Chains A and B, each alone.
Chain A
Amino acid sequence: MPIELEDLENIAHLARLHLSEEEKSEAASSMSNILKLIDQMQSVDTDNVTPLAHPLDSVQRLRDDEVTETNKRDALQKIAPETDQGLFLVPKVIE
């Protein structure tokens, strides 16, 4: 199934990616090929099959709700692009 330009732009926006015109035409052709590969799945009837979400069919292990982490704000913010007084800075959101 070929991908329409409009779909492609919508997916890029959802993924917060900016594609150049050149990247868009490459993406349209490679994604169409990938979707062709993926569509081979449709050849099998899976109506009565239960989806497998975890490879060993396991469920999440639970633990007691206890505080185990200490505050490491300074160490974690040291690698941030921009911070101020313990806050992460981003371009202005509210006028």
Chain B
Amino acid sequence: MIDSGLAQISRALAAREVSSVELTQEYLARIEKENSNLNAYITVCNELALEQANAADAVRSKGEAGAFTGIPIAHKDLFCTAGIRTSCGSRMLDNFISPYDATVVERFKQAGAVTLGKTNMDEFAMGSSNETSFYGPVKNPWDHSLVPGGSSGGSAAAVAARLCAGATATDTGGSIRQPASFTGLTGLKPTYGRVSRWGMVAFASSLDQAGTLTQSAEDAAMMLNVMAGLDQKDSTCSDVSVDDYTAGLDKPLKGLKIGLPKEHFSEGLNAEVEQCIRDAISEYEKLGASIQEISLPNSHLSVSAYYVIAPAEASANLSRYDAVRYGYRCENPVDLEDMYKRSRSEGFGAEVKRRIMVGTYALSAGYYDAYYRKAQKIRRLIKDDFQQAFEEVDVIIGPTSPHTAFPIGAQNDDPVTMYLEDIYTIAVNLAGLPGMSIPSGLVNGLPVGLQIVGRDFSEAQLLNVAHQFQLATDWHTKTPDNQA
């Protein structure tokens, strides 16, 4: 049963074919067996999970169960969980036990979900390979010598190896979509503000957004139904009305207008990956969609603008780690400045320090206009490009990543090489738009991801577009053990 997707598990629970306790025990046993190898979880919550599963079964026997009651999931280790460590993949927060739950965590609790544990991630979500984690790299279940992508690599590996029914994740520049692409999953990054950021450890506040990693679009829709919506605790959380995301999945795609950005099909894109994407486009034509080429003329500037805005916001956000109120403190500080400097230098890893330095530089006196202000202007141009495109088309599709998963250690020499990993995903965050990645083929036995981008708050449409593809194809059902 635990190989099934979240929606199927929900139906099996409703039909009393299986109990939440049985499912939870099965997952915990598999985690116990596989996790030492994959390193997908930083913390496993055996006792809490069984307690929640028992409570869920009790709720069901009283006839009060909802669609999510008793479903075992995992949370990326940057969602605060009361009483359970929230490390954010960093030595800085290795000892941090949050006194409260993040809104996302709270909503899943209210819905009756079971928390199996907290998943590994790049430190403070800064990375595209899950190699910057203080807890070590995560392995890709498809091939243990490869990265699962990042920063939500632990959530991706956990879902791909069927160590949970679905997982929460976050996406600042591609951190849900790229791991989904590398591990054969459906990844959903909602519109900026669709899901509350309260209790999410902040990286870049104008870009961060919580989303999901699941086996299918239907599973993602079920999770978004729990997560989405206004939260008074996050003043950037939107009050735009929330759809029922499972209700519109079955709508036919006839008449749908799809745009292909020519900039995403240019040099740098692996030829076999491109073929998979072209095949997916043909599939959409068969489903009744019309295809046209569009242009996002400023997209080549998105990585540059992002590597000003994200580090600048990170340097401000991470200034809170002062070793005074919580987190790591160095041994025997001689004075206050020594305490700040040594605690931060020992508590943060190399990539986090690098981005704090870049951000501090970009915001420092004399450079603000040339860097931060310039980047915000580029951000406007990028948003305008998308808005213009959406006057002609309903959704934009293309590759999620220029290639399939790469070997652990292969891209660590120059940080800029790693930054270019997110070349197709970053513009979507800058524009605040919703985006998905769905499996759309295999190249040499490794998954390829198709990115789908929509207008602000069009998650229901994106999920519909993804679901119809998944009804017509079976790429999302492929697993490392079953590629046929």
Contact = CB atoms under 8 A, between A and B. Distances in A.
Interface of A: 3, 7-8, 11-12, 14-19, 23, 26-27, 30-31, 33-44, 46, 49-56, 58, 60-61, 63, 72, 75-76, 78-82, 88, 90-93
Given A11-B361, A41-B374, A16 B99 contact: no
B481 interface: no
A27 B191 CA distance: 34
B99 to A, nearest CB: 5
Given A61-B235, A93-B336, A79 B207 contact: no
B30 interface: no
B235 A60 contact: yes
Contacts of A34: 307, 354, 358, 415-416, 419
B324 A51 contact: no
B99 A33 contact: no
**Which of B95, B325, B342 has the largest count of A CB atoms less than 10 A from its CB?**
B325
19 contacts: A11-B361, A15-B319, A15-B344, A16-B322, A16-B344, A18-B344, A31-B354, A37-B304, A37-B307, A52-B376, A52-B383, A53-B206, A58-B238, A72-B99, A79-B325, A81-B323, A81-B329, A92-B335, A93-B336
A56 B375 CA distance: 16
A78 B403 CA distance: 47
A11 B308 CA distance: 15
B123 to A, nearest CB: 15
Interface string B190-232: 0111000000000000110000000000000000000000001
Interface residues of B, number: 76
Interface in B309-356: 315, 319, 322-327, 329, 333-342, 344-345, 348, 350, 353-354, 356
A35 B323 CA distance: 30
A17 B301 contact: no
A41 B345 contact: no
A52 B307 contact: no
Contacts of B207: 55
B339 A49 contact: no
A79 B326 contact: yes
A33 B416 contact: yes
Interface of B: 95-97, 99, 191-193, 206-207, 232, 235-236, 238-239, 298, 300-301, 303-305, 307-308, 315, 319, 322-327, 329, 333-342, 344-345, 348, 350, 353-354, 356-358, 360-362, 364, 370-371, 373-381, 383, 414-416, 419, 429-433, 456
Given A30-B354, A51-B379, A54-B206, A41 B326 contact: no
Contacts of B324: 80-81, 88, 90
Chain B interface secondary structure, helix, strand, loop or mixed? helix
Nearest to B429: A55
B418 to A, nearest CB: 11
Nearest to B328: A81
Given A46-B378, A50-B380, A80-B325, A37 B345 contact: no
A56 B193 CA distance: 9
A38 B371 contact: yes
B18 to A, nearest CB: 38
A14 to B, nearest CB: 5
B356 A56 contact: no
Contacts of A3: 361
A88 to B, nearest CB: 5
B357 A27 contact: yes
B193 A58 contact: yes
A27 B354 contact: yes
A51 B376 contact: yes
B192 A37 contact: no
B298 A44 contact: yes
B381 A37 contact: no
Contacts of B329: 81-82
- Of all A-B residue pairs in the complex, the 10 with the closest CB atoms, nearest first, are A55-B432, A51-B376, A46-B377, A81-B329, A52-B380, A18-B341, A49-B377, A16-B340, A52-B379, A15-B360
